[in-house]
């Protein structure tokens, strides 16, 4: 229930160009409304389009456009009594003069769904041009708390100077725990999602997958491929400062051995052996780009996970058919948000694997599958292990173990369903958006 | 768990009332078992207008980008129904109306047709006309006033459905005490943003009644016809427009709650040339607005009458009330509305004269908060509540007398408010409206 220290009104800032943000924004709003806290979801896609237009023919309009963006929210903030902002898109609150400087706003919770590099390298980030100091002032403003869903993601941000931060895991919407649709498919598992990294896969990696290679071999392959087939940027770095190659080689090997250690931390440690290279990386402002290459050691984790069961004919894969095709996987059509609950419930068990580029493995599907009362089979990682125990979910550390776990599900789907029920109970206790909102607001109070 | 497809509620934050109502619609939809998502149009409208003005060669590319974003949104959510509080959303040849996944669009008219048509559409409608867009088969038009609905029908809009406004269920459960037993409140603006004439102000200060104020308003309309543009141009082209409007406004005096466009049509039988001129020149809605202005001092007149008695706290935009000699408290933010309703035993309620719809949202909100509203009697309001639940007075003097009774006996007002509360819970929540619309 609403307490005296509860916010009067919450503005949730989304970016509908990325519909998963939009979906989560709406789940957060519903969780707030259940606490009788009025919530308003507003989208910044149009503001971003406007930024684009202002960078082209309408450049002279930039100040007016910025005013329009600010005004579009200022009235709502005043009349809806908004005092708290939950931002799923940094662009909004780093717009100078918008939220951070508004005395009505007491707290801004910035939920990081993306990695720092993606944000910094996306076109038209931030919405309107300003110097680096302004950005730093906004990001480090005492009203702003940064929430990271992965331990490594948080550490990456800390290394980059983001101080007011905490771990806030992702979660499931409450309505999933009320879904009692039957389990119709016990002869197959499901995976809902795309392959992760969008670039075309290496032929060698595909061949390894087809030949039944283990995940370790694929990570080793990636380690070598990054060095043997460097992209144009890497070539330039290697030319400028040859020891960067050595730095990267050490970091890639470390990631292969410790696949869930933060890439940036690995890079920093490797930098102690190659100080000149590390200084070059820092000076050039390419630390996040190099760290990204380190993360790519894991790029085939998800495709390999899916392909292993696909080859056995044990899995239905949904969404992004074009992206799955190069892996030899025929995906079923995209599942709309409205149909997700039924699809989760339709199968006794689901595969789950993180997107390699995020350094955060406990993704939303982990919680959504569990809240749906279904078993998820995951790669064993600290993030995932901190949310659910074995018995609630399955944790495997190899493709062979994955295959064995899947076979067990197919032989004994009732056992999988029983695990799913345990996971659902845990979700009800700990892993709904309502829990995250409660702890966020408790902190603000 | 619902198997109902998600509903998209489209608002426009430029009208803050729409932002409030759209949130209440979403909450009501959730209680009905729908997943509802709300999005706002304000910035999009601004940007579309700027692109049109500054960089017309980018218009098509901009529209394509906007449409692509929305098509993806609708697809990813699996949305098949749209509730629009802002018609502009429908006005793109590619957006929503052409999307096969969107099966139904419910357009809730919070504004009048003229205001809507005067605002530039977001994107070019070509090759369709506005009327063709409005009449696309999957669009239903929900009007909250009988006059408003009549206006749409007469202008050729199809699938016009009466759909009264309503209250949010959340207001039923507010519990703040009535602390201002000897005062009443009015929450709102004067209606028209333009200040009153000196003559009208003097009449208000003399305490003239509504009959006199309407006569005065009518005379101001007729005096301005030949003197002020653009109506002077009408008169130059068709001098009998003066007679037509004189007759229509005379009818409005006798029938202050009959749709202005109906009165104009009726008067047009006696002055067919003038009516034909207005019709062919696309000026019918402008002329109807003038007829509506007969009532322009209804709301300020009622507020002033209570203000002079020292009974009334007015909440609204202080700058708009100042020309009427009224010191208003600032606009009430949404989270405080219910507690302000509860603070007083009774609230003055008066319609915006431009709308031809008298059962406004406040009527239902006051009732949901178990407080009595003091209204002028009109068919729209009478259709929603009885005389046991609200005050329906046929004159401002009668309204003042009713208020005086409550001033002496606030408990009677509270008791009446309780009845209005029950009626609202039974019939006048957003759930009731949406349940019917989405069948």
Locate A105 and state its tokens: 């706003």
| Residue B177 phi, psi dihedral angles, 5° rounding | -75, 165
Q: Which residues of A130-161 are buried (b: 16+ CB within 10 A; e: fewer)?
A: eeeeebebbbebebbbbbbbbbbbbbbbbbee
**Chain A: closest CA distance from residue B188 (Å):** 13
**The pLDDT of residue B328:** 97
Nearest alpha-carbon partner for B302 in B338, B326, B275, B318 = B326
What is d(CA B176, CA B336) in angstroms, rounded to the nearest whole number? 11
Probe site for chain B from A24, A176, A338 (most B CB atoms < 10 A) = A338
**Chain A: closest CA distance from residue B17 (Å):** 9
Q: A42 - beta bridge partners? A: A13
Going by their DSSP bridges, the two strands B312-315 and B160-162 should be labelled as: unpaired
Look-up of token digits 């609150």? A93
Q: Across residues B394-407, what is the average pLDDT?
A: 96
| Residue B88 phi, psi dihedral angles, 5° rounding | -55, -30
pTM for this predicted structure: 0.92
Which region among B187-196, B201-210, B227-236 has the lowest average model confidence (pLDDT)? B187-196
- Sheet of strand B184-187, all strands in order from the earlier edge strand to the far edge: B312-315, B184-187, B346-348, B372-376, B391-393
Locate A264 and state its tokens: 């940036």
Locate B425 and state its tokens: 């819970």
Residues 6+ apart with CB under 8 A from A361: A150, A260, A354, A378, A379, A381, A382, A383, A384
Going by their DSSP bridges, the two strands A189-192 and A315-318 should be labelled as: parallel
Residue of A347 and A60 predicted with greater confidence = A347
Instruction: Please check whether residue B43 is in contact with residue A68, taking contact to mean a CB–CB distance below 8 angstroms.
Output: yes
Q: Which residues of chain B lie closer than 8 angstroms to A79, CB-CB?
A: 16, 19-20, 331, 333-334
Distances from the Cα of A384 to the Cα of A163, A194, A217, A260, A363, angstroms: 24, 19, 23, 11, 8
Question: Across all residues in chain B, what is the average pLDDT?
Answer: 92
Q: Across residues B101-125, what is the average pLDDT?
A: 81
Is residue A123 very low, low, confident or very high in pLDDT (cuts 50, 70, 90)? Answer: low
Q: Which residues of B133-163 are buried (b: 16+ CB within 10 A; e: fewer)?
A: bbeeebbbbbbbbbbbbbbbbbbebebbeeb
Q: Could you give the count of Cα atoms lying within 13 Å of B405 in the half-sphere of its Cβ?
A: 12
- Rg value, chain B, Cα: 22
Q: Which residues of chain A lie closer than 8 angstroms to B46, CB-CB?
A: 68, 72
Q: Does B39 contact A341 at a Cβ distance shorter than 8 Å? A: no
How confident is the model over B266-297, as pLDDT tens digits?
A: 999 999 999 999 999 989 999 999 999 999 99
Which of A50, A58, A81 is closest, CB to CB, to B333? Answer: A81
Q: Does A40 contact B19 at a Cβ distance shorter than 8 Å? A: yes
**The pLDDT of residue B356:** 87
Which region among A132-136, A162-166, B233-237, B411-415 has the lowest average model confidence (pLDDT)? A132-136
Which of B1, B16, B47 is closest, CB to CB, to A180? Answer: B1
Q: Does A40 contact B38 at a Cβ distance shorter than 8 Å? A: yes
Which of B13, B50, B72 is closest, CB to CB, to A58? Answer: B50
Residues 6+ apart with CB under 8 A from B242: B222, B225, B226, B235
H or E stretch covering A227: helix A215-228
Which region among A135-149, A197-211, B213-227 has the lowest average model confidence (pLDDT)? A135-149
How confident is the model over A135-145, as pLDDT tens digits?
A: 788 888 999 99
Query: Does residue B16 belong to the interface with chain A, where contact is any CB pair within 8 Å?
Result: yes
Instruction: Assess whether pLDDT exceeds 60 at residue B17.
Output: yes
Helices of type H across B11-112: 16-31, 42-54, 59-77
Nearest alpha-carbon partner for B150 in B265, B242, B17 = B265
Q: Which residues of chain A lie closer than 8 angstroms to B60, CB-CB?
A: none
CB atoms within 10 A of CB A3: 11
Which of A36, A65, A72 is closest, CB to CB, to B42? Answer: A72
Query: Does residue B187 belong to the interface with chain A, where contact is any CB pair within 8 Å?
Result: no
Q: Could you give the count of Cα atoms lying within 13 Å of A24 in the half-sphere of its Cβ?
A: 27
Nearest alpha-carbon partner for B355 in B299, B292, B302 = B292
Is residue B123 very low, low, confident or very high in pLDDT (cuts 50, 70, 90)? Answer: confident
**The pLDDT of residue A4:** 55
Residues 6+ apart with CB under 8 A from B346: B184, B371, B372, B373, B374, B391, B403, B406, B410, B413, B417
Q: Across residues B90-110, what is the average pLDDT?
A: 83
What is d(CA A7, CA A84) in angstroms, rounded to the nearest whole number? 6
What is d(CA B419, CA B423) in angstroms, rounded to the nearest whole number? 6
Instruction: Please check whether residue A165 is in contact with residue A145, taking contact to mean a CB–CB distance below 8 angstroms.
Output: yes
Instruction: Please check whether residue A388 is in contact with residue A423, taking contact to mean a CB–CB distance below 8 angstroms.
Output: yes
What is d(CA B279, CA B160) in angstroms, rounded to the nearest whole number? 21
Which chain A residues in 323-352 lie under 8 Å from chain B, judged by CB atoms?
Answer: 334, 336-339, 341-342
**The pLDDT of residue A3:** 52
Q: Does B37 contact A41 at a Cβ distance shorter than 8 Å? A: yes
Residues 6+ apart with CB under 8 A from A207: none
Query: Does residue A65 belong to the interface with chain B, where contact is any CB pair within 8 Å?
Result: yes
What is d(CA B224, CA B241) in angstroms, rounded to the nearest whole number? 12
Instruction: Assess whether pLDDT exceeds 60 at residue B221.
Output: yes
Locate A420 and state its tokens: 């799913």
Which of A22, A78, A341 is closest, CB to CB, to B333? Answer: A78
Most confident of B85-94, B99-108, B293-302: B293-302
Which region among A190-194, B67-71, B290-294 has the lowest average model confidence (pLDDT)? B67-71
**The pLDDT of residue A91:** 76
**The pLDDT of residue A83:** 96
Q: Does A75 contact B16 at a Cβ distance shorter than 8 Å? A: yes
CA nearest B174 in A: which residue?
Answer: A36
Looking at residue B33, the DSSP 8-state letter turns out to be T
Q: Which residues of A177-208 are buried (b: 16+ CB within 10 A; e: fewer)?
A: bebeeebeebebbbbbbbbbbeeebbebbbeb
Residue of B73 and B129 predicted with greater confidence = B73
Instruction: Please check whether residue A95 is in contact with residue A13, taking contact to mean a CB–CB distance below 8 angstroms.
Output: no
**The pLDDT of residue A50:** 80
CB atoms within 10 A of CB B268: 20
**The pLDDT of residue A21:** 84
What is d(CA B85, CA B94) in angstroms, rounded to the nearest whole number? 19
- Rg value, chain A, Cα: 23
Give the three-state DSSP class for B102.
coil
Give the three-state DSSP class for A208.
helix
**The pLDDT of residue A120:** 72
Is residue B116 very low, low, confident or very high in pLDDT (cuts 50, 70, 90)? Answer: confident
Query: Does residue B333 belong to the interface with chain A, where contact is any CB pair within 8 Å?
Result: yes
Percent of chain A with pLDDT over 90: 71
Question: Across all residues in chain A, what is the average pLDDT?
Answer: 91
Q: Does A58 contact B77 at a Cβ distance shorter than 8 Å? A: no
Q: Does B50 contact A64 at a Cβ distance shorter than 8 Å? A: yes
Which region among A39-53, A325-339, A390-404, B203-217 has the lowest average model confidence (pLDDT)? A39-53
What is d(CA A42, CA A25) in angstroms, rounded to the nearest whole number? 9
Which region among A61-65, A315-319, A425-429, B4-8 has the lowest average model confidence (pLDDT)? A61-65
Nearest alpha-carbon partner for B91 in B58, B57, B53, B52 = B52
How confident is the model over A405-428, as pLDDT tens digits?
A: 999 999 999 999 999 999 999 999
Nearest alpha-carbon partner for B194 in B228, B236, B151, B159 = B228
**The pLDDT of residue A160:** 81
Percent of chain B with pLDDT over 90: 74
What is d(CA A324, CA A306) in angstroms, rounded to the nearest whole number? 10
Nearest alpha-carbon partner for A379 in A328, A435, A304 = A304
Give the three-state DSSP class for A405.
helix
How confident is the model over B247-268, as pLDDT tens digits?
A: 999 999 999 999 999 999 999 9
CA nearest B8 in A: which residue?
Answer: A26
Instruction: Assess whether pLDDT exceeds 50 at residue B1.
Output: no
**The pLDDT of residue A129:** 67
Q: Does A72 contact B37 at a Cβ distance shorter than 8 Å? A: no
Query: Does residue B202 belong to the interface with chain A, where contact is any CB pair within 8 Å?
Result: no
Q: Across residues B409-421, what is the average pLDDT?
A: 97
Q: Give the A:B interface size as CB pairs under 8 Å.
A: 131
H or E stretch covering B109: strand B104-109
Provide the ipTM. Answer: 0.89
How confident is the model over B354-370, as pLDDT tens digits?
A: 888 899 999 999 999 99
Most confident of A40-49, A81-90, A391-400: A391-400
Look-up of token digits 């392909």? A307
Q: Does A76 contact B16 at a Cβ distance shorter than 8 Å? A: yes
Instruction: Assess whether pLDDT exceeds 70 at residue B227.
Output: yes
Probe site for chain B from A31, A32, A40 (most B CB atoms < 10 A) = A40
What is d(CA A275, CA A268) in angstroms, rounded to the nearest whole number? 10
**Chain A: closest CA distance from residue B378 (Å):** 30
**The pLDDT of residue B2:** 53
What is d(CA A118, CA A359) in angstroms, rounded to the nearest whole number? 12
Q: Does B47 contact A53 at a Cβ distance shorter than 8 Å? A: yes
Q: Does B75 contact A336 at a Cβ distance shorter than 8 Å? A: yes
What is d(CA A69, CA A86) in angstroms, rounded to the nearest whole number? 17
Give the three-state DSSP class for A40.
strand
Going by their DSSP bridges, the two strands A165-167 and A189-192 should be labelled as: unpaired
Interior angle at CA A19, CA A18 and CA A25, nearest 5: 105
**The pLDDT of residue A443:** 79
Instruction: Please check whether residue B172 is in contact with residue B183, taking contact to mean a CB–CB distance below 8 angstroms.
Output: no
**The pLDDT of residue A416:** 98
**The pLDDT of residue B91:** 66
Which of B38, B55, B331 is closest, CB to CB, to A41? Answer: B38
Is residue A1 very low, low, confident or very high in pLDDT (cuts 50, 70, 90)? Answer: very low
What is d(CA B101, CA B79) in angstroms, rounded to the nearest whole number? 7
Which chain A residues in 151-180 lie under 8 Å from chain B, judged by CB atoms?
Answer: 175, 178-180
DSSP of B386-398 = -TTTSEEESSHHH
Q: Does A53 contact B62 at a Cβ distance shorter than 8 Å? A: yes
**Chain B: closest CA distance from residue A56 (Å):** 10
**The pLDDT of residue B327:** 97
**Chain A: closest CA distance from residue B52 (Å):** 11
Q: Does A47 contact B23 at a Cβ distance shorter than 8 Å? A: no
CA nearest B53 in A: which residue?
Answer: A58
**The pLDDT of residue A125:** 62
Q: Which residues of chain A lie closer than 8 angstroms to B19, CB-CB?
A: 40, 76, 79-80
CB atoms within 10 A of CB A324: 23
Q: A12 - beta bridge partners? A: A41, A86
Which chain A residues in 237-296 lie under 8 Å from chain B, judged by CB atoms?
Answer: none
Instruction: Assess whether pLDDT exceeds 50 at residue B314.
Output: yes
CA nearest A78 in B: which residue?
Answer: B333
**The pLDDT of residue B131:** 85
Locate B420 and state its tokens: 């209005």
What is d(CA B207, CA B127) in angstroms, rounded to the nearest whole number? 54
What is d(CA B186, CA B172) in angstroms, rounded to the nearest whole number? 20
Q: Which residues of chain A lie closer than 8 angstroms to B16, CB-CB?
A: 75-76, 79-80
Locate A204 and state its tokens: 């060698």
Instruction: Assess whether pLDDT exceeds 90 at residue A203.
Output: yes
Locate A275 and state its tokens: 């100080």
Residues 6+ apart with CB under 8 A from B38: A40, A41, B8, B9, B10, B11, B22, B23, B25, B26
Q: Which residues of chain B lie closer than 8 angstroms to A82, CB-CB?
A: none
């Amino acid at each position: 229930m609403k307490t005296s220290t509860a916010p009067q009104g919450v503005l949730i800032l989304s970016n509908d160009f990325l519909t998963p943000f939009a979906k989560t924004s709406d789940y957060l709003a519903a969780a707030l409304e259940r606490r009788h806290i009025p919530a308003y979801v507003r989208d910044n896609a149009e503001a971003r389009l406007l930024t684009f237009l202002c960078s082209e023919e309408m450049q002279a309009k930039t100040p007016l456009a910025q005013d329009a963006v600010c005004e579009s929210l200022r009235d709502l903030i005043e009349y809806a009594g908004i005092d708290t902002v939950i931002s799923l898109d940094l662009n909004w609150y780093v717009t100078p003069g918008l939220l951070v400087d508004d005395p009505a706003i007491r707290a801004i919770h910035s939920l990081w769904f993306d990695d720092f590099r993606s944000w910094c390298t996306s076109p038209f980030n931030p919405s309107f041009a300003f110097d680096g100091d302004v950005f730093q002032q906004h990001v480090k403003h005492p009203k702003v708390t940064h929430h990271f869903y992965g331990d490594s993601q948080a550490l990456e941000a800390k290394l980059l100077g983001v101080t007011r931060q905490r771990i806030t895991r992702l979660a499931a919407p409450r309505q999933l725990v009320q879904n009692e649709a039957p389990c119709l498919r016990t002869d197959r598992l499901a995976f809902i999602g795309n392959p992760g990294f969008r670039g075309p896969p290496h032929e060698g990696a595909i061949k390894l997958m087809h030949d039944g290679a283990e995940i370790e071999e694929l990570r080793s392959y990636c380690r070598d491929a990054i060095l043997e087939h460097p992209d144009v940027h890497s070539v330039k770095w290697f030319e400028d400062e040859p020891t960067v190659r050595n730095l990267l080689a050490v970091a890639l090997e470390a990631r292969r051995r410790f696949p869930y250690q933060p890439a940036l931390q690995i890079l920093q440690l490797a930098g102690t052996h190659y100080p000149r290279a590390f200084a070059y990386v820092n000076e050039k402002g390419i630390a996040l780009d190099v760290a990204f290459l380190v993360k790519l050691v894991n790029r085939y984790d998800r495709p390999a996970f899916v392909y292993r069961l696909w080859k056995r004919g044990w899995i239905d894969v949904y969404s992004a058919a074009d992206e799955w095709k190069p892996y030899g996987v025929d995906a079923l059509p995209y599942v709309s948000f409205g149909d997700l609950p039924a699809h989760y419930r339709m199968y006794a068990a689901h595969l789950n694997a993180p997107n390699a580029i995020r350094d955060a493995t406990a993704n939303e599907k982990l919680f959504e599958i569990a809240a749906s009362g279904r078993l998820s089979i995951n790669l064993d990682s600290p993030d995932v292990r901190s949310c659910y125990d074995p018995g609630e979910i399955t944790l495997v550390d190899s493709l062979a173990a994955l295959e064995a776990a899947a076979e067990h599900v197919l032989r004994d789907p009732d056992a999988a369903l029983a695990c799913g029920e345990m996971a659902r109970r845990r979700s009800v206790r700990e892993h709904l958006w309502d829990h995250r909102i409660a702890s966020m607001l408790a902190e603000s109070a | 768990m619902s198997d109902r497809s998600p509903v998209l509620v489209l608002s426009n934050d430029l009208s803050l009332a729409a932002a409030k109502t759209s949130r209440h619609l979403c909450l009501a939809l959730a209680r009905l078992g729908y997943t509802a998502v709300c999005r706002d149009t304000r910035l999009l409208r601004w940007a579309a207008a700027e692109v049109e003005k500054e960089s017309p060669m980018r218009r098509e590319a901009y529209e394509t980008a906007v449409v692509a974003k929305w098509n993806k949104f609708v697809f990813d959510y699996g949305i098949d129904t749209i509730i629009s509080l802002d018609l502009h959303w429908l006005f793109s040849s590619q957006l929503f109306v052409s999307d096969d996944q969107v099966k139904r669009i419910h357009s809730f008219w919070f504004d009048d047709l003229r205001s809507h048509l005067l605002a530039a559409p977001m994107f070019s409608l070509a090759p369709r006309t506005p009327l063709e867009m409005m009449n696309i088969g999957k669009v239903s038009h929900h009007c909250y006033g009988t006059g408003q609905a009549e206006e749409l029908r007469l202008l050729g809009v199809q699938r016009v459905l009466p759909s009264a406004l309503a209250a949010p269920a959340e207001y039923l459960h507010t519990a703040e005490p009535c602390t201002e037993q000897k005062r009443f409140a009015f929450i709102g603006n004067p209606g028209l943003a333009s200040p009153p004439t000196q003559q009208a102000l003097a009449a208000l200060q003399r305490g003239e009644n509504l009959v006199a104020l309407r006569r005065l308003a009518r005379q101001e309309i007729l005096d301005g016809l030949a003197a002020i543009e653009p109506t002077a141009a009408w008169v130059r082209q068709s001098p009998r427009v003066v007679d037509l409007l004189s007759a229509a406004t005379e009818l409005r005096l006798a029938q202050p709650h009959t749709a202005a466009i109906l009165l104009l049509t009726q008067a047009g039988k006696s002055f067919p040339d003038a009516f034909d001129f207005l019709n062919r020149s696309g000026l019918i809605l402008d002329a109807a607005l003038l007829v509506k202005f007969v009532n322009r001092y209804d709301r300020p007149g009622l507020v002033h009458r209570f203000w002079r008695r020292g009974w009334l706290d007015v909440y609204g935009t202080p700058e708009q009330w100042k020309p009427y000699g009224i010191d208003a408290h600032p606009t009430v933010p949404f989270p405080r509305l219910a507690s302000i309703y509860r603070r007083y035993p009774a609230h003055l309620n008066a319609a915006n004269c431009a709308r031809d719809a008298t059962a406004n949202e406040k009527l239902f909100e006051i009732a949901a908060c178990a407080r009595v509203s003091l209204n002028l009697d009109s068919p729209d309001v009478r259709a929603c509540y009885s005389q046991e639940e609200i005050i329906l007075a046929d004159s401002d003097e009668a309204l003042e007398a009713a208020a005086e009774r409550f001033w002496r006996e606030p408990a009677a007002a509270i008791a009446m408010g309780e009845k209005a509360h029950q009626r609202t819970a039974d019939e006048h929540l957003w759930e009731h409206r949406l349940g019917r619309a989405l069948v």
